[in-house]
Amino acid sequence: MSFIYVGRLDELKGIRTLFEAWRLMGSDAPLLKVCGTGSLQEWCIHQSEGQNIEMMGFLDSATVKRLLSESQALILPTLWYEGFPMTIAEAFSSGVPVICSDIGNAGSLIEEGVTGWKFAVGNAEELVHAVQRCMASRDDMRRGIIKRYESEYTPDANYRRLAEIYAEVQNANRSAGAQRR
C-alpha cells in the first residue's frame, strides 16, 4: 500500500505538513512516493532519510499517471487557495481518492468518505487521521470516484456545464429585459 504526492516541493504546497505527518506515524507509516522538484527538494531528501518516503524527483506524465493509479490515495496538503488542481482530476479519472487540506477549491472538490478525506490546513495530526481513515476504507470507492469523474470532470461534462451556464445567463438577461419594458 502506497500513497503519492505530486507537485512542487515548496512551502505553499504543504510539503512540510506532509513530511511531519509521516514522521508522526513513525514505523506505522505506509510508503509515500513524492513526485516533483522545487525549492525544498534538498530539505525533503534529508527529511526522507529513515522514513518510509521514496523521493521520485521529476517524472514524465505517463509515469505519474501509472504511479497514481497504483496508489491508495493522492495527498494534496496545500496551504493556499488552489484554482483547480489537475492532480485531483487525474486521481479521480483513475478512481483514486484524494486526501486534501480543507482550503479553497481543492477542499471543496472532496466529499468526505466518498471521493476522499479532508483535514485542517497545515495540521499534520489531522492528516495522519485522514491517512488512517483511508487505509481502513473499502476499495469499492474507486468505482464511485470514476463515476463522479465521468459525470463532472471530463471534457464533455465540462462542455455541458458551460452550455448550461450560458443558457442560464441568457435566460436571466431575457427576464431582466422583459421586466424593464
Query: Which amino acid, 21?
Result: A
pLDDT at site 171 = 82
Residue 53 buriedness (CB in 10 A; 0-12 / 13-18 / 19+): buried
- Give residue limits of the domains in the chain: 2-179
Nearest 10 degrees: CA dihedral of 42, 46, 52, 53?
0
pLDDT at site 177 = 67
pLDDT digits (tens, 9 = 90+) for 50-92: 999 999 999 999 999 999 999 999 999 999 998 889 999 999 9
Q: One digit per residue, pLDDT tens: the chain, 181 residues?
A: 899 999 999 999 999 999 999 999 999 999 999 999 999 999 999 999 999 999 999 999 999 999 999 999 999 999 999 888 999 999 999 999 999 999 988 888 999 999 999 999 999 999 999 999 999 986 678 888 888 888 887 888 878 878 888 888 888 777 766 676 6
Are 1 and 8 in contact by the 8 Å Cβ rule? The answer is no
pLDDT at site 141 = 87
CATH topology of domain 2-179: Rossmann fold (3.40.50)
In the beta sheet, which residues pair with residue 71?
A: none
Q: Mapped to the 3 state alphabet, what secondary structure does the chain carry? A: CEEEEECCCCHHHCHHHHHHHHHHHHHHCCEEEEECCCCCHHHHHHHHCCCCEEEEECCCHHHHHHHHHCCCEEEECCCCCCCCCHHHHHHHHCCCCEEEECCHHHHHCCCECCCEEEECCCCHHHHHHHHHHHHHCCCCHHHHHHHHHHHHCCHHHHHHHHHHHHHHHHHHHHHHHHHHC
pLDDT at site 148 = 85
Tell which residue, 60, 68, 65, has the closest CA to residue 33: 68
**Centroid of chain to Cα 146:** 14
Handedness of CA 6, 133, 49, 62 (dihedral sign): negative
